[in-house]
Amino acid sequence: MKRLLEVDNLHFSFKTYGGEVKAVRGVTFYVDEGEVLGIVGESGCGKSVTAQCIMRLNPEPPGYFKQGSIKYKGTEITSLSKREIKKIRGSEIGMIFQDPMTSLNPTMKIGKQIEESVMNNMSVSRSEAKTRAVEMLKLVGISDAEKRYTQYPHEFSGGMKQRAMIAIAMACNPSLLIADEPTTSLDVTIEAQILDLMKELQLKFNTSIIMITHDLGVIASLCHRIIVMYGGMVVEQGDLHEIFYNPKHPYTWGLLKSVPTLNMDKKEQLIPIDGTPPDLFSPPIGCPFAARCEYAMEICYEQLPPEYEITVKHSTMCWLQHPNAPEVIWQETNEGAL
Amino acid sequence: MESTYVDVDKNKFNHVGKNKDKMEVISRPSLNYWQDGWRRLKKNRIAFIGLIIIAIYIILAVFGPKMVSYDYTTTDASSTNLGISSKHWFGTDKLGRDMWVRVWMGARVSLTIGFTAAVINAFIGVLIGGISGYYSGIIDMLIMRIIDVLYGIPYIIVAILVMMVLGSGMKALIIAMVIVGWIGMARFIRGEVLRLKEQDFVLAAKLLGVSEFKIIYRHMIPNVIGLIITTLTMAVPGYIFSEAFLSYIGLGIQPPDCSWGSLAKIGAQTFRLYPYQLFIPAFFVCTTMLALNLLGDGLRDALDPKLRGQEK
Amino acid sequence: MAKYLLRRLLISMLTILVLITAVWILVRFLPGDPFTSDKLSPEIKENMMRYYGFDKPLTTQYITYLKNLLHGDLGYSLNYKNLTVARILKDSFPYSADLGVRALLFAISTGLFLGIVAALNRSRFLDYFCIIIAIIGCSVPDFIIGSLLQYVFGVKLKLLPVAQWQGFKYTILPSIALGFYTLAYVSRVMRASMLEVVSQDYIKTASSKGLSDVQVVFKHQIRNAILPVITVLGPIVAAILTGTFVIESIYTIPGMGKYYVSGVQTLDYTLILGSTIFYGVLLVIANTMVDMAYGIIDPRIRVYKK
């Protein structure tokens, strides 16, 4: 299995009137060919910024790469020129966004929007591009594709719009698809359809997917591996089984515990995580999660924990893994529900 | 990935737990709408300069004429068409009248007309637009039909005709500008009220059992008042311009009364020889309109609740 | 879609009717009677009153006027004896139309260009430069610009002619003076619109396809940003139209504006009535066309969801 994407110690900040916003503070992960990586975290943890870094979609300025590297198929992304990154966008890496209502150009026909990507990235004729566009619409499950090709976004329903987005992103058969909360604004039933579609396409074309979401259910149904982000950092990463059945970071515990389950008692209260994510203008010195962590220790407030390897495919950034730290056992209250 | 042993003192592993103070992060001081608006406006230096300019002009309009010994109607055949001098700070016109006095008397007229017309139109517009938008139904439909039809009627044309019927003078000008001028504001306010009515916070208030009056007073009005003030400020230049325009074509203010517009008209007749007679009143008209435009832009940025916390 | 157009047409026809009636009534209220200034004998005055129909009851006069209007008869000018109002309008309108169209084209093209350039160079020199031009343009009344241009280019620098309308050179200054406000206004609207569009998600989508900056700007940004500009075309046409009154006077162009203003100043009732109605109808038609154009250009209105 070839390594498709390697992110190493990525630091990305924004220069603003109030100072530097440290959006990404040392993120390391990788994506192999054909696998689906999930990125979980609350709003503001840096997951979208990280994803957009891969395609250099963050506005630079005011954004800038402070440190670290991103290697895609061996090429260093952070040092590419504008022209070079445009060659990669669309043809090698595709992206779909959260809100399909606003992510499509309202004054351009859907078919043309797909065609645009094809014509730009593949050297084909107009008619070949049109054929490909209609093909893509069929592929993503839009019936009556020939007719839909000539329609405008406002004539599509929400779910169909998201399918169209997928068609646009996959039109040139990219090796990597980045999905930034693609189902957050959709109904649950539509969400299921979209996830099924993505699974289908992933298997068919062996596309790697980075799935960004805050919904653990989505993660469970699609992803092979997961990274958990908090405060601009990766606090835990591992494969699906490890994360759900043997999580080691208190934040991950909090996330898993806060999901309501079907076999909960009616009178049971939901268990949220108290507090709010840290201010990235002046992030805390120690572990970003310390203030909200039940198990926090003195050292947690003073120093950033190093990354500890639990198994070959599972690591976490937490002082609880230090030999001197007390042992905390994760109770499995959600067995089988997810 | 580090798996190496990090040497840390055993004591550091004492349990501390959550920290209630650091848990919730509020990084900006909490200000109410007006304080925040004023703060943002002050930051916008250009808009603030606009505000200062207007203030200076208003002060000069009140005290300017008293600063010299001349009266705005006194003619002096021996001092016609004099340029700027220490005796006549703005020179004299073709009948020997002192320009400084006339400019500031004119300022009184022009500024009063501009602001009064804007305020009256805003008032009528808010009333009609607000009622129409809030109550919907038949009332709304009726008012909207009337507005639709009236909206197409060109404003200046009506103003000209009304001026011709009413004669000249400040009152006539204000009436002329108000007769059709409220329509734009009414439409705008109606649109905003409709939009606000659909917002969830209004629904939330209703669900909590808040009385209708309180909803209007505490939820809807604060959200539109910023827009009203901004629109008002940006409408004033239009009225000052209309007054200048109407006086320029011979309606509006007649001599010896003066407004900036009528001064411009008189100045235009002789400007090739004595350009200052046109350009001085013109300068004040332009800078006033400029200042108001800049102020209006700044107000719009400062009072838009959606832009809170997003300053450049 | 057809329903939308039909509705617009009906409203505009109603507006025109209300306009004509309102103007007609207002003109009847004008002080004095039209012949006070003339040194005419009472019999001739009476004859002229009868000829113009001033002796009949008001309702009859109104209906007669409407009937005549439908035939294109606007009566005789009271000031320019022997000339029908219709004739005056017909002869002078081409000049005004020519001036107006030139001003409009100049203003819209330059305004769009400045707005786009400003938005693309946000917070840099070009942006501030365009903003300054825009704000100055919106703050300086057209007759002042007209006079200023005359002074600088005609009198001082002696580069361009400042009166009459006899060739391309003559059209330059008046068109610029007339269009300046519109230029400023359009550039402001376009800039604001471009900036709003650039923060929309679909621009990110377009970038993610690997399109060049030029493609993103032209096919995605400008296409959407231009819509609000179309909605303001109505008021723009009105502003240009009223601007002709003053510009034609300053530059001595024999257009409709000049006759209108002189009609106002000499209380030439029929001329005032006729030109006001003409202007009014023109503006209503322009507004309606702009509304309809917007309905056609914005696909969200043009194509209804089934």
Q: What is the DSSP string of C198-213?
A: HTSHHHHHHHHTT--H
Q: Is C201 on the interface with A (CB under 8 A)?
A: yes
Q: Do B249 and C264 touch (CB under 8 A)?
A: yes
A58 and A23 in a common domain: yes
Residue A132 belongs to some domain of the structure? yes
Q: Do C209 and A87 touch (CB under 8 A)?
A: no
Q: Which residue has the higher pLDDT, A214 or B202?
A: A214
Instruction: Enumerate the residues of chain A whose CB falls inside 8 A of the CB of residue B312.
Output: 17
Check residue C45 and give its pLDDT. Answer: 66
A186 and A44 in a common domain: yes
Across A73-77, A292-296, B307-311, least confident range: B307-311
- β-strand pairing of A225-230 with A208-213: unpaired
Residue A166 belongs to some domain of the structure? yes
A192 and A65 in a common domain: yes
Q: What is the extent of the structural domain holding A38?
A: 3-223
List the one residue out of C233, C23, C242 whose CA is nearest residue C143.
C242
A122 and A10 in a common domain: yes
Tokens of B135: 């109550």
How many domains, chain A? Answer: 2
Question: With 0-12 CB in 10 A as exposed, 13-18 as middle and 19+ as buried, what is A190?
Answer: middle
A252 and A180 in a common domain: no
For A306-336, the pLDDT digits (tens) are 888 888 889 999 988 888 777 777 765 444 3
A213 and A254 in a common domain: no
Residue A334 belongs to some domain of the structure? no
A257 and A135 in a common domain: no
Q: Which residue has the higher pLDDT, C35 or A139?
A: A139
For C202-216, the pLDDT digits (tens) are 999 999 998 888 888
Check residue C31 and give its pLDDT. Answer: 63
Which chains border B (3 or more CB–CB pairs < 8 Å)?
A, C
A217 and A187 in a common domain: yes
List the one residue out of B45, B114, B100, B53 whose CA is nearest residue B72.
B100
Q: Is A94 on the interface with C (CB under 8 A)?
A: yes
Which of A108, A120, A152 has the CB atom closest to C209's CB atom?
A120
User: Are the C-beta atoms of residues C227 and C297 closer than 8 Å to each other?
Assistant: yes
Residue A186 belongs to some domain of the structure? yes
- The DSSP call for residue C255 is S
Q: What average pLDDT does chain C have? A: 80
A164 and A103 in a common domain: yes
Helix (H, G, I), strand (E, B) or coil at A119: helix
Alpha-carbon distance A234 to A251, whole Å? 11
Across B125-139, C159-173, C183-197, C270-284, least confident range: C159-173
Which of A97, A103, A115 is most worth mutating to test chain C (most C CB atoms within 10 A of its CB)? A103
Tokens of B89: 């700070």
Check residue C63 and give its pLDDT. Answer: 77
Residue A326 belongs to some domain of the structure? no
Residues whose CB falls within 8 Å of the CB of residue A16, separated by 6 or more in sequence, listed in order: A62
DSSP codes joined into one string, chain B: ---S-----GGGGSB----HHHHS---S----HHHHHHHHHHH-HHHHHHHHHHHHHHHHHHHGGGGSS--TT---GGGTT--S-SSSTT-B-TT--BHHHHHHHHHHHHHHHHHHHHHHHHHHHHHHHHHHHHH-HHHHHHHHHHHHHHHTS-HHHHHHHHHHHH-SSHHHHHHHHHHHHHHHHHHHHHHHHHHHHTSHHHHHHHHTT--HHHIIIIIIHHHHHHHHHHHHHHHHHHHHHHHHHHHHTT-S--TTS--HHHHHHHHHHHTTT-THHHHHHHHHHHHHHHHHHHHHHHHHHHH-GGGTT---
- Is pLDDT at C82 greater than 60 in this prediction? yes
Check residue A255 and give its pLDDT. Answer: 86
Q: Could you tell me how far CA C91 lies from the centroid of its own chain?
A: 18
Q: Do B12 and A298 touch (CB under 8 A)?
A: yes
A214 and A78 in a common domain: yes
b/e A254-282 (16+ beta carbons within 10 angstroms → b): bbbeeeeeeeeeeeeeeeebebebbebee
Q: Could you tell me how far CA A170 lies from the centroid of its own chain?
A: 17
The amino acid present at B109, given as its one-letter code, is V
A258 and A196 in a common domain: no
Q: Is A155 on the interface with C (CB under 8 A)?
A: yes
Q: Do B153 and C19 touch (CB under 8 A)?
A: yes
Which of B10, B17, B27 has the CB atom closest to A296's CB atom?
B17
Residue A88 belongs to some domain of the structure? yes
User: What is the interface size between A and B, counted as CB pairs within 8 Å?
Assistant: 78
Alpha-carbon distance C9 to C7, whole Å? 5
Q: Is A150 on the interface with C (CB under 8 A)?
A: no
Across A118-132, B191-205, B293-307, C157-171, least confident range: C157-171
Residue A330 belongs to some domain of the structure? no
User: Are the C-beta atoms of residues B16 and A320 closer than 8 Å to each other?
Assistant: no
For C116-133, the pLDDT digits (tens) are 999 888 878 888 888 888
Check residue A286 and give its pLDDT. Answer: 87
For A247-297, the pLDDT digits (tens) are 889 899 888 888 777 777 777 777 778 777 787 778 888 888 888 888 888
Q: Which residue has the higher pLDDT, A257 or C60?
A: A257
- The DSSP call for residue C77 is -
A186 and A60 in a common domain: yes
Summarize the confidence of residues C18-32 as an average pLDDT: 73
Summarize the confidence of residues A22-31 as an average pLDDT: 91
Residue A47 belongs to some domain of the structure? yes
Assign residue A194 the CATH number of its domain.
Answer: 3.40.50.300
Which chains border A (3 or more CB–CB pairs < 8 Å)?
B, C
Per cent of chain C over pLDDT 70 is: 83
